[in-house]
Structure 1
Amino acid sequence: MSVKTTKSALIEQGRWLTVQDCKRVLVVAHTVTFAQRLREAFCLLEADFRIQVVFTAPPHAFGDGVSRYLESLGIATVPWEEARRAEFDLALAAGSRGVHELRAPVVRISHGAGHIKLLTDTSSLKPGEKRSPGMLSRQHLLHEGRVGPAAIVYAHERDLDELAQSCPEALPVAHVVGDPCVDRIVAGMSQREQYRRALGLDAGQRLVIVTSTWGPTSTFGRLDALLPQLSQLPGGGYRVALLLHPNVFAGHGAWQVRSWLAGCRGRGIAVVPPEADWQAPLIAADWIIGDHGSLTAYGTLTDATMLLTPGPRREISAYSPAALLATLAPVISPAYPLDEQLRYAAEWHRPGQYKQVASLLSSAPGQFHQRMRAVIYRLLKLGEPAYAPLVPPLPLPPPLEQWEAVDPGVAQR
């Protein structure tokens, strides 16, 4: 059966399908970031013959790479136009673009660590109306004045407090389920030494992870100032890996990003691909140098020493984990050698130093998959399977050498 025929069969529910009379769930993956978060939800439907899962990748400014990522998981996508015309029993989405057009109840899944970035499009705000993060804003949750999703899932109880101020109409469909990244990182901490060995770290070597969100105020937006400092770290004692938001690759193109990082070649600086599992390298880090993005906030769950790059204050929510972290963590300076600053920060680092920040990431630690499955099955009007959710463990990462910056002309994407 060809891929085209398979897609058509999934949409039409034709009589040639072997397993029939299934509830049909549509996964709407706008970007790689959204697809990675949605994977934590659709994996909960594995092994259930009562459910057929269909995938689509709508047009999006940062949509480059989504189909490749899904294909790497063995997933074929149906065209967005076909998905819009078909009927489904449920749809899972992390983004809001176009989901009101679907002929299905929609579950909106929040992504990232604690709703950091404030709404950028303020054209629809009334005079004096406060800017809210996207997943807490009326602009993202209402369509023609009515709540669009059948369910909205959040990581923390305090999100409901903010929702009560920003979009109280959405409270009846809001659910607190926790954060899957929090659960995976906490569970993976016991495997830290295995991850370090898999990455190829020698005894005595220290791993510096540089995290970056996307946008002009991100670490990558000003990486030209940081790269010389990273390149001057003593080669024998330090290994460096860049964890960049997938939107950086999608916005500029993989060739361009690797071209800009051509100076890293031969300097032992690895560039983690956007589709890679990033939790294991984060757990393995000795230092995390980051900005106001989610990965930096998730780093507070690890034992790593944290340092921040200078970031914006007006563009992030004052109630977010990133805002609190910015008041606690030291900020790197271009005026001093980076290895001196790493050592200084390590001397002052104490276990549990950022416990207050980490506590803002989830108010249901260890419960995401159980709570998320309950929401999905309730909306599907199906009884849950009589076993605990199937949650695959974090995979071992490849050696850092496999991710080290390569010639953009031969990079395989």
Structure 2
Amino acid sequence: MAGRQRGVLVAIRSAVALHRLLDVLPVFDGDDRVRVRFTLVPGSRFDVDALTALDRTGARTMPWREACATRHDLVLTASPKGDLHLLPGPRALLPHGAGFGKALDDEGSADVPSGLDPVHLLADGKPWADLHALAHEEQALRLARHCPEARPAVVVGDPTADRLLRSLPAREEYRAALGTGPRHLVVLSSTWGPESLVARRPGLAAELLALLPHDAYQVALVLHPNAHSRTGGFDLARWMAPALRAGLVLARPHEEWAALLVAADAVVTDHGSTGLYAAALGRPVIGAYDGGHELVPHSPMARLLAETPHLAAARDLAATLEAARATDPRGPAAHAFAHQGKALPLLRGHLYHLLGLRPPATRVVDAPVFPVPTTRPQRPAVFAVRTEVSGDRVTVHRFPPDTPERVHHLAAEHPAAGPGPLQSAAVLWHHARPRPLTGHHAAWTASGWTAAALDEMPGCRTAAAILTRDRLLLHPRGRAPLTATTEPHREQGRSRHADPTAVVSAVHAWLAAGPPPGAPQTLLCDTGPVAVRVHLAPAEERDLDYEV
């Protein structure tokens, strides 16, 4: 018996349950005595993406009928719903969120938190789970209150919360992958269902993007995996196309949400448990739950929303963010996550006890750091620009073209912006692109392209070729071409760069303001979070002939 390989069955109903259990499975790393198989529990509306996500892992699966006919050494699940009592073997149940903060009227007893409902925890009046592994003693007390028939729970902490905390050193790497730079990253978090943020306030992301200067803020949206499953990637991209064009980051449903929380400067949340994970990281949290029946009173999520400022309207974000920075959200999170950093070692002992095995002598592997996001936000091709010129300082605020904000000119990328914006934009820019090392090719020079743009677009007042991050060729209408070089802002050993396309608008506005004779040829371009010096000089031959 000691040498027999033990079979662990992971029973999932949805992608969110799968993701939770994947955070648990490192307890078995390095142990060839344990074999893991997965099965899909029938009956969920959100099982399509679970199969897709499972396929990406390379895991081996077992049909439900076969799983019910096979004796397992351990059954792991993160949802109490479905006929789990039909799976033979000791069963361990973990929550698939944080804090049991929602009660869903259409999924069991009214006013009973989802995950603690006797309707799902009992089969024929008897508890089917042999082990409840919970994240905090408060959850164990609530389990005993709502379902006293359930077997006593063990408090082990939360493996996902531990993974988030361990990923904190990767914050700058995540921000670099997202193209955040010195901007403030505001993450909107939405659970699923009729009381979710995207159901109640579907236009909030687009409203924020229209009001927040692009060079000062980046906006991201984290949707519950069930929202991805229900809607599908195609329709999500179609519905959110205007916001995506304006630079919205839409997180993929697995793991990217966590990387975005680590990278965030603030999180706007409804009553979904993602807000508690943000609070555990100490991120400023802003509530955006507009009330209803789902939020469980006195739960950690309810406490968090009661103690953090509420965002009534998109225009109030700046003031609400200031209030959120003055509020420490980690108090409510402390009521959701115990034993921080110890969840996997504690859980390992209980799971190996159910397996009838002595845990390996080696230390349990630490929770892995979340991977770098692979989602790349679209680079906006059109901006409505407001500038303020004060001597040699130019402040630039850029917004989507449909912004309600007061603006001075339109700036557009050639050719990505399309015919309409290209015809009406006062500022046009074009990015130099890498050329193949072999084969025939033809290319504009920077001076040739800027001259052609001014020729073909009568509304264009300044055409610019972006040669490198810090070097531009600008051709103002009626003037000789200029070379503009920018100095990154350096502070405490860090370099911060402005978007060169913002620099183009700054120089355009400065020249349009009519600098007096003898005015300095160095100006300061201020985009909000960073101000860089821009040096102007007559165009150099190498820049005029640079291939774009």
In structure 2, what is the equivalent of residue 57 of structure 1? 40
* Native 8 Å contact 2:162 2:367 kept in 1: no
TM-score in terms of structure 2 length: 0.65
**Map of 1:342 onto structure 2:** 317
Structure showing greater radius of gyration is 2
Assess, with a 3 A threshold, how the Cα gap between structure 1 residues 191 and 282 changes in structure 2: closer, same or farther. same
Aligned partners of 1:106 and 1:150 also within 8 Å: yes
Q: How many residues align?
A: 375
Q: Deviation of residue 383 (structure 1)?
A: 0.1
Matches within 5 A, 1:68-83: 68-83=52-67
Please report how far the alpha carbon of residue 381 of structure 1 lies from its aligned counterpart in structure 2 after TM superposition.
0.7
Q: 2:376 aligns with which of 385, 398, 401?
A: 401
2:188 to 188, 207, 210: 210
Q: Identity over the aligned pairs, expressed in percent?
A: 32
Conserved in 2, the CA contact under 8 Å of 1:200 and 1:400?
no
Separation in 2, partners of 1:228, 1:80: 43
User: In structure 1, how many angstroms separate the alpha carbons of the residues matched to 2:307 and 2:379?
Assistant: 32
Greater percentage in helix: 1
3-state SS, counterpart of residue 327 of structure 1: helix
Residue aligned with 1:372, SS: helix
Among residues 159, 163, 167, which one is paired with 2:147 in the alignment? 167
Deviation of 1:403 after TM superposition, in Å, equals: 7.8
> Are 1:366 and 2:341 an aligned pair?
yes
Instruction: Give the structure 2 partner of residue 135 of structure 1.
Output: 115
TM alignment of 1:255-334, pairs within 5 A? 255-334=234-313
Q: Contact 2:10–2:39 (CA<8 Å) still a contact in 1?
A: yes
- Aligned partner (choices 113, 121, 133) of residue 153 of structure 1: 133
**CA-CA distance at 1:122 after TM superposition:** 7.2
Question: d(CA) in 2 for partners of 1:282 and 1:45?
Answer: 27
1:250 to 2:250 alignment: no
- Larger RCO (alpha carbons 8 Å, 6+ apart): 1
- 1:31, 1:93 → 2: CA distance? 11
| One-letter amino acid of the counterpart of residue 180, structure 2 | L
Aligned-partner residue type, residue 258 of structure 2: Q
**Structure 2 equivalent of residue 110 of structure 1:** 95
Counterpart for residue 4 of structure 1: none
Q: 2:276, 2:301 within 8 Å by CA — same for their partners in 1?
A: yes
Aligned-pair CA distance for 1:235: 1.4
Which amino acid in structure 1 is aligned with residue 55 of structure 2?
E
Summarize deviations over 1:21-61 as a string: whole Å, max 9, x none: 31111011211100011112222112111111111122321
Residues 1:40 and 2:23 aligned together: yes
Mapped partners of 2:99, 2:87: distance in 1? 27
The alignment partner of 1:35 has SS state of: helix
- In the alignment, the residues of structure 2 paired with residue 163 and residue 80 of structure 1 have an alpha-carbon distance, to the nearest angstrom, of 28
- Structure 1's unaligned 5+ residue stretches are 1-19, 406-413
Q: What residue in structure 2 maps to residue 181 of structure 1?
A: 160
After superposition, the Cα gap between the structure-2 partners of 1:122 and 1:201, relative to the gap in structure 1 and judged at 3 Å, is closer
User: Structure 1 residue 400: deviation in Å?
Assistant: 4.8
Q: Does 1:229 align with 2:212?
A: no
Structure 1 residues 95-104 or 70-79, which shifts more?
70-79
Superposed CA deviations along residues 309-354 of structure 1, whole A, max 9, x for unmatched, are 13334322113121011211111123x62xxx33323333446611
> Given that residues 122 and 131 in structure 1 are in contact (C-alpha distance below 8 angstroms), is that contact kept between their aligned partners in structure 2?
no
Q: Relative to 1, partners in 2 of residues 1:122 and 1:262: Cα closer, same or farther, differing over 3 Å?
A: closer
Aligned residue in 1 for 2:355: 380
Kindly indicate which of the two structures has a greater share of residues assigned to strand.
Answer: 2
Give the Cα separation in 2 of the matches to 1:349 and 1:289. 10
The runs of 5 or more residues in structure 2 that have no matched partner are: 381-548
Pick which of 177-186 and 146-155 moved more: 177-186
CA RMSD of aligned residues (A): 2.2
How far residue 392 of structure 1 moved from its aligned partner, in angstroms, is: 4.5
* TM-score, normalisation: structure 1: 0.85
Match of 2:84 in 1: 99
* Residues 1:380 and 1:234: Cα distance change in structure 2 (over 3 Å): same
CA distance change for structure 1 residues 278 and 391 in 2, over 3 Å: closer, same or farther?
A: farther
Task: Please say if 1:195 is aligned against 2:174.
Answer: yes
Displaced runs of 4+ in structure 1, greater than 3 A?
A: 349-352, 402-405
Cα shift readout 1:294-321 (whole Å, capped 9, x = no counterpart): 1112111234322121333432211312
Change (3 A) 1:254 1:36: same
